Structure 1
Amino acid sequence: MQIDDERVLWSAPPGERAGRPLLVLLHGHGLDESVGFDLRHRLPPDLVLASLRGPLRARGGFGWFALDSTFGFDQIESAVAAVLAWLDRQLGYRSVGVLGFSQGAAIAAQCLRVRPRALAYAVLLSGFLSPLPAPGDQELVRVRPPVFSGRGDRDTLVPALLSDLSDRWLEVHTTVTSRIYAGLGHQVSPEELADVAAFLDRHASVTGRLPV
Protein backbone atom coordinates (compact mmCIF):
# COMPACT_ATOMS: atom_id res chain seq x y z
CA MET A 1 0.00 0.00 0.00
CA GLN A 2 1.04 3.58 -0.54
CA ILE A 3 -0.49 7.05 -0.34
CA ASP A 4 -1.21 8.62 -3.73
CA ASP A 5 0.45 12.04 -3.60
CA GLU A 6 -1.70 13.20 -6.50
CA ARG A 7 -4.86 12.62 -4.44
CA VAL A 8 -3.81 14.52 -1.31
CA LEU A 9 -5.95 17.61 -0.70
CA TRP A 10 -3.99 20.52 0.76
CA SER A 11 -5.43 23.63 2.40
CA ALA A 12 -2.42 25.74 1.40
CA PRO A 13 -0.13 25.81 -1.66
CA PRO A 14 3.49 24.57 -1.29
CA GLY A 15 4.93 28.04 -0.83
CA GLU A 16 2.70 28.76 2.17
CA ARG A 17 3.26 25.63 4.27
CA ALA A 18 6.75 25.87 5.77
CA GLY A 19 6.99 26.62 9.48
CA ARG A 20 3.29 26.05 10.14
CA PRO A 21 1.63 23.17 12.04
CA LEU A 22 0.47 20.29 9.83
CA LEU A 23 -2.76 18.37 10.51
CA VAL A 24 -3.26 15.15 8.52
CA LEU A 25 -6.87 14.01 7.90
CA LEU A 26 -7.80 10.33 7.55
CA HIS A 27 -11.34 9.66 6.32
CA GLY A 28 -13.72 6.84 7.18
CA HIS A 29 -14.60 3.65 5.31
CA GLY A 30 -16.23 4.13 1.92
CA LEU A 31 -15.44 7.86 1.84
CA ASP A 32 -12.60 9.83 0.28
CA GLU A 33 -10.24 12.73 0.91
CA SER A 34 -12.89 15.36 0.11
CA VAL A 35 -15.21 14.31 2.96
CA GLY A 36 -14.67 16.55 5.96
CA PHE A 37 -12.18 18.79 4.19
CA ASP A 38 -14.52 21.77 4.64
CA LEU A 39 -13.85 21.47 8.37
CA ARG A 40 -10.73 23.51 7.69
CA HIS A 41 -12.88 26.64 7.82
CA ARG A 42 -13.81 25.88 11.45
CA LEU A 43 -10.29 25.04 12.68
CA PRO A 44 -7.39 27.32 13.71
CA PRO A 45 -6.34 29.26 10.59
CA ASP A 46 -2.60 28.66 11.05
CA LEU A 47 -3.05 24.93 10.48
CA VAL A 48 -2.05 23.39 7.17
CA LEU A 49 -4.43 20.50 6.43
CA ALA A 50 -3.53 17.53 4.26
CA SER A 51 -6.35 15.07 3.59
CA LEU A 52 -5.16 11.63 2.46
CA ARG A 53 -7.06 9.09 0.37
CA GLY A 54 -7.23 5.56 1.75
CA PRO A 55 -5.36 3.08 -0.49
CA LEU A 56 -8.16 0.46 -0.75
CA ARG A 57 -11.34 0.57 -2.80
CA ALA A 58 -14.31 0.37 -0.42
CA ARG A 59 -17.95 0.50 -1.47
CA GLY A 60 -18.33 3.72 -3.49
CA GLY A 61 -15.16 5.25 -2.11
CA PHE A 62 -11.98 4.25 -0.33
CA GLY A 63 -10.79 2.85 2.96
CA TRP A 64 -7.83 1.75 5.04
CA PHE A 65 -8.77 -1.89 5.67
CA ALA A 66 -11.60 -4.23 4.73
CA LEU A 67 -14.74 -4.58 6.85
CA ASP A 68 -15.76 -7.98 5.51
CA SER A 69 -14.44 -11.54 5.37
CA THR A 70 -11.33 -10.38 3.50
CA PHE A 71 -10.12 -8.40 6.53
CA GLY A 72 -6.71 -9.20 8.00
CA PHE A 73 -4.68 -7.33 10.61
CA ASP A 74 -1.91 -7.13 8.02
CA GLN A 75 -4.12 -4.59 6.20
CA ILE A 76 -3.95 -2.29 9.23
CA GLU A 77 -0.18 -2.73 9.39
CA SER A 78 0.17 -1.92 5.69
CA ALA A 79 -2.06 1.16 5.92
CA VAL A 80 -0.16 2.49 8.94
CA ALA A 81 3.17 1.91 7.18
CA ALA A 82 1.87 3.84 4.15
CA VAL A 83 0.76 6.81 6.26
CA LEU A 84 4.03 6.92 8.22
CA ALA A 85 6.08 6.66 5.02
CA TRP A 86 4.13 9.61 3.60
CA LEU A 87 4.63 11.57 6.83
CA ASP A 88 8.37 10.95 6.71
CA ARG A 89 8.48 12.96 3.48
CA GLN A 90 6.76 15.98 5.02
CA LEU A 91 9.47 18.34 6.26
CA GLY A 92 9.64 21.85 7.66
CA TYR A 93 6.46 21.89 9.76
CA ARG A 94 6.29 23.31 13.28
CA SER A 95 4.36 20.26 14.48
CA VAL A 96 2.55 17.28 12.96
CA GLY A 97 -0.77 15.91 14.19
CA VAL A 98 -3.42 13.59 12.83
CA LEU A 99 -7.22 13.62 12.82
CA GLY A 100 -9.11 10.47 11.92
CA PHE A 101 -12.80 9.65 11.62
CA SER A 102 -14.12 6.12 12.25
CA GLN A 103 -11.79 3.73 10.42
CA GLY A 104 -9.40 6.64 9.87
CA ALA A 105 -9.29 7.14 13.64
CA ALA A 106 -8.21 3.51 14.06
CA ILE A 107 -5.32 4.14 11.67
CA ALA A 108 -4.42 7.41 13.41
CA ALA A 109 -4.29 5.67 16.80
CA GLN A 110 -2.25 2.83 15.38
CA CYS A 111 0.30 5.30 13.98
CA LEU A 112 0.82 6.51 17.55
CA ARG A 113 1.14 2.94 18.79
CA VAL A 114 3.66 1.91 16.14
CA ARG A 115 5.83 5.01 16.39
CA PRO A 116 4.95 6.93 19.59
CA ARG A 117 7.12 9.96 18.85
CA ALA A 118 6.00 10.45 15.25
CA LEU A 119 3.07 12.72 16.07
CA ALA A 120 2.63 15.62 18.48
CA TYR A 121 -1.07 14.84 19.08
CA ALA A 122 -4.06 12.97 17.65
CA VAL A 123 -7.81 13.57 17.26
CA LEU A 124 -9.95 10.41 17.15
CA LEU A 125 -13.60 10.86 16.13
CA SER A 126 -16.11 8.00 16.32
CA GLY A 127 -13.15 5.64 16.33
CA PHE A 128 -11.79 2.49 17.89
CA LEU A 129 -8.44 0.82 18.48
CA SER A 130 -7.04 -2.47 17.26
CA PRO A 131 -7.30 -5.02 20.11
CA LEU A 132 -3.84 -6.44 19.40
CA PRO A 133 -0.67 -5.17 21.14
CA ALA A 134 1.50 -2.79 19.14
CA PRO A 135 5.31 -2.44 19.27
CA GLY A 136 5.28 1.06 20.77
CA ASP A 137 2.63 0.62 23.47
CA GLN A 138 5.06 0.70 26.40
CA GLU A 139 6.92 3.69 25.00
CA LEU A 140 3.59 5.45 24.51
CA VAL A 141 2.95 5.21 28.26
CA ARG A 142 6.14 7.20 28.79
CA VAL A 143 5.42 9.77 26.06
CA ARG A 144 1.66 10.14 26.78
CA PRO A 145 0.88 12.45 23.84
CA PRO A 146 -2.29 14.57 23.97
CA VAL A 147 -5.28 12.87 22.33
CA PHE A 148 -8.84 14.07 21.79
CA SER A 149 -11.39 11.26 21.63
CA GLY A 150 -15.01 12.06 20.78
CA ARG A 151 -18.05 9.94 19.95
CA GLY A 152 -21.83 9.97 20.17
CA ASP A 153 -23.81 7.98 22.70
CA ARG A 154 -26.07 6.77 19.87
CA ASP A 155 -23.27 5.52 17.63
CA THR A 156 -24.38 2.00 16.72
CA LEU A 157 -21.69 1.36 14.09
CA VAL A 158 -18.89 0.93 16.62
CA PRO A 159 -19.76 -1.76 19.21
CA ALA A 160 -20.08 -0.34 22.73
CA LEU A 161 -17.63 -2.92 24.12
CA LEU A 162 -14.97 -1.86 21.62
CA SER A 163 -15.57 1.82 22.39
CA ASP A 164 -15.28 1.19 26.14
CA LEU A 165 -12.07 -0.83 25.72
CA SER A 166 -10.59 1.91 23.53
CA ASP A 167 -11.50 4.58 26.10
CA ARG A 168 -9.78 2.65 28.90
CA TRP A 169 -6.71 2.01 26.76
CA LEU A 170 -6.37 5.72 25.94
CA GLU A 171 -6.62 6.63 29.64
CA VAL A 172 -3.61 4.42 30.42
CA HIS A 173 -1.42 5.21 27.40
CA THR A 174 -2.10 8.86 26.48
CA THR A 175 -3.10 12.22 27.91
CA VAL A 176 -6.65 11.95 26.67
CA THR A 177 -9.47 14.47 26.50
CA SER A 178 -12.60 12.33 26.14
CA ARG A 179 -16.05 13.56 25.17
CA ILE A 180 -19.31 11.64 24.67
CA TYR A 181 -22.10 13.62 22.98
CA ALA A 182 -25.74 13.01 23.86
CA GLY A 183 -27.99 12.09 20.96
CA LEU A 184 -25.15 11.90 18.42
CA GLY A 185 -24.76 8.95 16.08
CA HIS A 186 -21.81 8.01 13.86
CA GLN A 187 -21.07 11.56 12.79
CA VAL A 188 -19.53 14.85 13.94
CA SER A 189 -21.67 17.56 15.55
CA PRO A 190 -21.04 21.33 15.74
CA GLU A 191 -20.45 20.96 19.49
CA GLU A 192 -17.83 18.29 18.91
CA LEU A 193 -16.16 20.36 16.20
CA ALA A 194 -15.93 23.31 18.59
CA ASP A 195 -14.25 21.05 21.17
CA VAL A 196 -11.82 19.79 18.50
CA ALA A 197 -10.94 23.36 17.51
CA ALA A 198 -10.26 24.23 21.15
CA PHE A 199 -8.06 21.15 21.54
CA LEU A 200 -6.09 22.08 18.41
CA ASP A 201 -5.67 25.64 19.67
CA ARG A 202 -3.93 24.18 22.72
CA HIS A 203 -1.80 21.53 21.07
CA ALA A 204 -1.21 22.20 17.35
CA SER A 205 1.59 24.68 17.95
CA VAL A 206 3.61 22.25 20.05
CA THR A 207 7.02 21.80 18.48
CA GLY A 208 7.33 18.32 17.07
CA ARG A 209 9.08 16.54 14.24
CA LEU A 210 9.18 13.09 12.77
CA PRO A 211 12.14 11.01 13.94
CA VAL A 212 14.91 10.13 11.51
Structure 2
Amino acid sequence: MSQPTIDADAVMWSASEADRADRPLLVLLHGYGSHEGDLFGLAPSLPLEPVIASLRAPLVAPWPIDGWSWFPRDGEARPDRDTINASTDAVIGWLDDLTVQPTVVGLMGFSQGGAMTMQLMRRAPDRFDYGVVMAGFVCPDQEPGDAVLAERKPPIFWGRGTLDDVIPEAAIVRTTDWLTAHSTLSGRIYEGLGHGINQQAASDVRAFIQRQL
Protein backbone atom coordinates (compact mmCIF):
# COMPACT_ATOMS: atom_id res chain seq x y z
CA MET A 1 0.00 0.00 0.00
CA SER A 2 1.43 3.36 -1.03
CA GLN A 3 1.96 6.14 1.45
CA PRO A 4 -0.80 8.77 1.43
CA THR A 5 0.00 12.23 0.13
CA ILE A 6 -1.73 15.60 0.19
CA ASP A 7 -3.05 16.66 -3.20
CA ALA A 8 -1.44 20.09 -3.59
CA ASP A 9 -3.84 20.95 -6.42
CA ALA A 10 -6.82 20.42 -4.11
CA VAL A 11 -5.61 22.82 -1.40
CA MET A 12 -7.80 25.90 -1.02
CA TRP A 13 -5.78 29.05 -0.28
CA SER A 14 -6.92 32.41 1.02
CA ALA A 15 -3.98 34.18 -0.64
CA SER A 16 -1.94 33.77 -3.80
CA GLU A 17 1.64 32.54 -3.51
CA ALA A 18 2.89 36.08 -4.08
CA ASP A 19 0.96 37.25 -1.01
CA ARG A 20 2.14 34.51 1.39
CA ALA A 21 5.66 35.72 2.16
CA ASP A 22 6.46 36.69 5.76
CA ARG A 23 2.99 35.72 6.99
CA PRO A 24 1.72 33.11 9.44
CA LEU A 25 -0.12 30.06 8.12
CA LEU A 26 -3.30 28.48 9.45
CA VAL A 27 -3.89 24.91 8.19
CA LEU A 28 -7.50 23.68 8.18
CA LEU A 29 -8.21 19.95 8.54
CA HIS A 30 -11.75 18.79 7.81
CA GLY A 31 -13.71 15.97 9.39
CA TYR A 32 -14.62 12.47 8.26
CA GLY A 33 -16.42 12.23 4.93
CA SER A 34 -15.96 15.91 4.18
CA HIS A 35 -13.66 17.93 1.90
CA GLU A 36 -11.36 20.95 1.73
CA GLY A 37 -14.21 23.38 1.05
CA ASP A 38 -15.97 22.65 4.34
CA LEU A 39 -13.89 24.49 6.94
CA PHE A 40 -12.75 27.00 4.33
CA GLY A 41 -16.25 28.44 4.63
CA LEU A 42 -15.18 29.74 8.05
CA ALA A 43 -12.42 31.87 6.51
CA PRO A 44 -14.43 35.13 6.66
CA SER A 45 -14.89 34.58 10.40
CA LEU A 46 -11.17 34.04 11.08
CA PRO A 47 -8.41 36.65 11.55
CA LEU A 48 -7.04 38.26 8.41
CA GLU A 49 -3.35 38.02 9.32
CA PRO A 50 -2.74 34.34 8.63
CA VAL A 51 -2.74 32.79 5.20
CA ILE A 52 -5.31 30.00 5.32
CA ALA A 53 -4.75 26.67 3.59
CA SER A 54 -7.54 24.09 3.71
CA LEU A 55 -6.36 20.56 2.93
CA ARG A 56 -8.16 17.56 1.50
CA ALA A 57 -7.59 14.35 3.47
CA PRO A 58 -5.70 11.71 1.47
CA LEU A 59 -8.09 8.76 1.94
CA VAL A 60 -11.41 8.23 0.17
CA ALA A 61 -14.16 7.57 2.71
CA PRO A 62 -15.94 4.27 1.98
CA TRP A 63 -19.30 4.11 0.23
CA PRO A 64 -21.91 5.48 0.81
CA ILE A 65 -19.94 8.44 2.21
CA ASP A 66 -19.08 10.93 -0.53
CA GLY A 67 -15.95 12.56 0.83
CA TRP A 68 -12.50 12.05 2.30
CA SER A 69 -10.94 10.88 5.54
CA TRP A 70 -7.67 11.04 7.44
CA PHE A 71 -8.09 7.52 8.81
CA PRO A 72 -10.83 4.86 8.86
CA ARG A 73 -13.68 5.49 11.27
CA ASP A 74 -14.01 2.88 14.02
CA GLY A 75 -16.83 4.32 16.14
CA GLU A 76 -14.68 4.38 19.29
CA ALA A 77 -12.29 7.23 18.43
CA ARG A 78 -9.31 4.88 18.69
CA PRO A 79 -7.70 5.01 15.24
CA ASP A 80 -4.86 2.75 14.21
CA ARG A 81 -1.62 4.55 15.09
CA ASP A 82 0.19 3.69 11.86
CA THR A 83 -2.72 4.93 9.74
CA ILE A 84 -3.13 8.31 11.43
CA ASN A 85 0.63 8.81 11.49
CA ALA A 86 0.79 8.14 7.77
CA SER A 87 -1.66 11.00 7.30
CA THR A 88 0.23 13.29 9.68
CA ASP A 89 3.45 12.55 7.79
CA ALA A 90 1.64 13.45 4.56
CA VAL A 91 0.71 16.85 5.98
CA ILE A 92 4.25 17.45 7.23
CA GLY A 93 5.61 16.47 3.81
CA TRP A 94 3.24 18.93 2.16
CA LEU A 95 4.49 21.67 4.49
CA ASP A 96 8.11 20.80 3.72
CA ASP A 97 7.42 21.21 0.00
CA LEU A 98 5.90 24.70 0.23
CA THR A 99 7.79 27.21 -1.87
CA VAL A 100 6.95 30.00 0.57
CA GLN A 101 7.60 28.90 4.14
CA PRO A 102 5.41 30.55 6.81
CA THR A 103 6.67 32.44 9.84
CA VAL A 104 4.24 30.66 12.20
CA VAL A 105 2.10 27.56 11.66
CA GLY A 106 -1.22 27.00 13.42
CA LEU A 107 -3.61 24.10 13.02
CA MET A 108 -7.40 23.97 13.15
CA GLY A 109 -9.30 20.74 12.79
CA PHE A 110 -12.85 19.46 13.16
CA SER A 111 -13.62 15.93 14.45
CA GLN A 112 -11.07 13.69 12.67
CA GLY A 113 -9.27 16.90 11.74
CA GLY A 114 -9.14 17.77 15.43
CA ALA A 115 -7.50 14.43 16.14
CA MET A 116 -5.07 15.22 13.34
CA THR A 117 -4.31 18.61 14.89
CA MET A 118 -3.15 17.04 18.14
CA GLN A 119 -1.38 14.16 16.40
CA LEU A 120 0.56 16.59 14.21
CA MET A 121 1.67 18.54 17.26
CA ARG A 122 2.72 15.27 18.90
CA ARG A 123 4.63 14.10 15.83
CA ALA A 124 6.40 17.43 15.20
CA PRO A 125 6.21 19.50 18.41
CA ASP A 126 8.74 22.02 17.12
CA ARG A 127 6.79 22.64 13.92
CA PHE A 128 3.44 23.95 15.14
CA ASP A 129 2.77 26.97 17.33
CA TYR A 130 -0.86 26.44 18.37
CA GLY A 131 -3.86 24.27 17.68
CA VAL A 132 -7.64 24.52 17.51
CA VAL A 133 -9.60 21.31 18.10
CA MET A 134 -13.33 21.41 17.43
CA ALA A 135 -15.36 18.31 18.38
CA GLY A 136 -12.14 16.31 18.24
CA PHE A 137 -10.23 13.83 20.38
CA VAL A 138 -6.70 12.68 21.12
CA CYS A 139 -5.46 9.29 19.99
CA PRO A 140 -4.68 6.82 22.80
CA ASP A 141 -1.16 5.76 21.83
CA GLN A 142 1.89 7.54 23.20
CA GLU A 143 4.06 9.58 20.83
CA PRO A 144 7.72 10.63 21.15
CA GLY A 145 6.75 14.31 21.08
CA ASP A 146 4.50 14.02 24.14
CA ALA A 147 7.37 14.73 26.53
CA VAL A 148 8.25 17.91 24.63
CA LEU A 149 4.64 19.10 24.70
CA ALA A 150 4.32 18.31 28.41
CA GLU A 151 7.25 20.63 29.06
CA ARG A 152 6.39 23.34 26.55
CA LYS A 153 2.56 23.29 26.87
CA PRO A 154 1.64 25.01 23.59
CA PRO A 155 -1.73 26.81 23.42
CA ILE A 156 -4.63 24.63 22.30
CA PHE A 157 -8.30 25.57 22.08
CA TRP A 158 -10.78 22.72 22.50
CA GLY A 159 -14.44 23.26 21.79
CA ARG A 160 -17.28 20.74 21.86
CA GLY A 161 -21.06 20.64 22.21
CA THR A 162 -23.10 19.18 25.05
CA LEU A 163 -25.21 17.24 22.52
CA ASP A 164 -22.31 15.78 20.54
CA ASP A 165 -23.17 12.09 20.27
CA VAL A 166 -20.37 11.23 17.81
CA ILE A 167 -17.34 11.37 20.13
CA PRO A 168 -17.58 8.69 22.86
CA GLU A 169 -17.38 9.68 26.51
CA ALA A 170 -14.20 7.65 27.00
CA ALA A 171 -12.50 9.67 24.26
CA ILE A 172 -13.62 12.94 25.88
CA VAL A 173 -12.14 11.87 29.24
CA ARG A 174 -8.91 10.77 27.53
CA THR A 175 -8.67 14.06 25.66
CA THR A 176 -9.34 16.13 28.79
CA ASP A 177 -6.54 14.33 30.62
CA TRP A 178 -4.09 14.62 27.75
CA LEU A 179 -4.73 18.29 27.01
CA THR A 180 -4.44 19.21 30.68
CA ALA A 181 -1.01 17.56 30.84
CA HIS A 182 0.35 18.58 27.43
CA SER A 183 -1.02 22.01 26.55
CA THR A 184 -2.00 25.42 27.79
CA LEU A 185 -5.65 24.61 27.41
CA SER A 186 -8.48 26.98 26.72
CA GLY A 187 -11.86 26.32 25.23
CA ARG A 188 -15.54 26.03 25.80
CA ILE A 189 -18.40 23.56 26.05
CA TYR A 190 -21.36 24.82 24.01
CA GLU A 191 -24.79 24.18 25.48
CA GLY A 192 -27.19 22.57 23.02
CA LEU A 193 -24.61 22.11 20.26
CA GLY A 194 -24.24 18.72 18.55
CA HIS A 195 -21.32 17.58 16.45
CA GLY A 196 -20.66 20.88 14.74
CA ILE A 197 -19.45 24.48 14.96
CA ASN A 198 -21.85 27.31 15.73
CA GLN A 199 -21.47 31.09 15.51
CA GLN A 200 -20.29 31.42 19.11
CA ALA A 201 -17.64 28.76 18.56
CA ALA A 202 -16.40 30.53 15.43
CA SER A 203 -16.17 33.78 17.38
CA ASP A 204 -14.24 32.08 20.20
CA VAL A 205 -11.84 30.49 17.72
CA ARG A 206 -11.22 33.84 16.07
CA ALA A 207 -10.38 35.44 19.44
CA PHE A 208 -8.09 32.54 20.37
CA ILE A 209 -6.13 32.68 17.09
CA GLN A 210 -5.87 36.45 17.35
CA ARG A 211 -4.24 36.07 20.77
CA GLN A 212 -1.63 33.74 19.33
CA LEU A 213 -0.62 36.32 16.73
Take 2:125 and 2:198, find their aligned partners in 1: how far apart are those partners? 29
Shift of 1:161: 1.7
Which residue does the alignment assign to 1:209? none
**Which of 60, 68, 74 is 2:82 aligned to?**
74
Take 2:8 and 2:66, find their aligned partners in 1: how far apart are those partners? 21
Query: Aligned runs of 1:1-212 on 2, under 5 Å?
Result: 1-58=4-61, 59-68=65-74, 72-90=80-98, 91-203=100-212, 205=213
Q: Cα RMSD (Å) of the superposition?
A: 1.3
Report how many aligned residue pairs link the two structures: 203
Which residue does the alignment assign to 1:208? none
Q: Is the Cα contact below 8 Å between 2:29 and 2:39 reproduced in 1?
A: no
Match of 1:194, as an amino acid?
A: S
Deviation track 1:131-151 (CA, whole Å, cap 9, x = no partner) reads 111111111111211000000
Shift of 1:84: 1.1
The gaps in structure 2 that reach 5 residues or longer are: none
Q: Secondary structure at the match of 1:184?
A: coil
TM-score, L = length of structure 1: 0.92
The gaps in structure 1 that reach 5 residues or longer are: 206-212
Q: Which runs of 4+ in 1 moved over 6 A?
A: none
Take 1:19 and 1:80, find their aligned partners in 2: how far apart are those partners? 25
Take 1:49 and 1:4, find their aligned partners in 2: how far apart are those partners? 16
Take 2:147 and 2:16, find their aligned partners in 1: how far apart are those partners? 38
Match of 2:51, as an amino acid?
A: V
Shift of 1:178: 2.4
Q: Is the Cα contact below 8 Å between 1:99 and 1:124 reproduced in 2?
A: yes
Q: Is the Cα contact below 8 Å between 2:45 and 2:206 reproduced in 1?
A: yes
Identity %: 42
Shift of 1:92: 3.3
Q: Is the Cα contact below 8 Å between 1:101 and 1:125 reproduced in 2?
A: yes
Match of 1:125, as an amino acid?
A: M
Match of 2:122, as an amino acid?
A: R
Shift of 1:27: 0.3
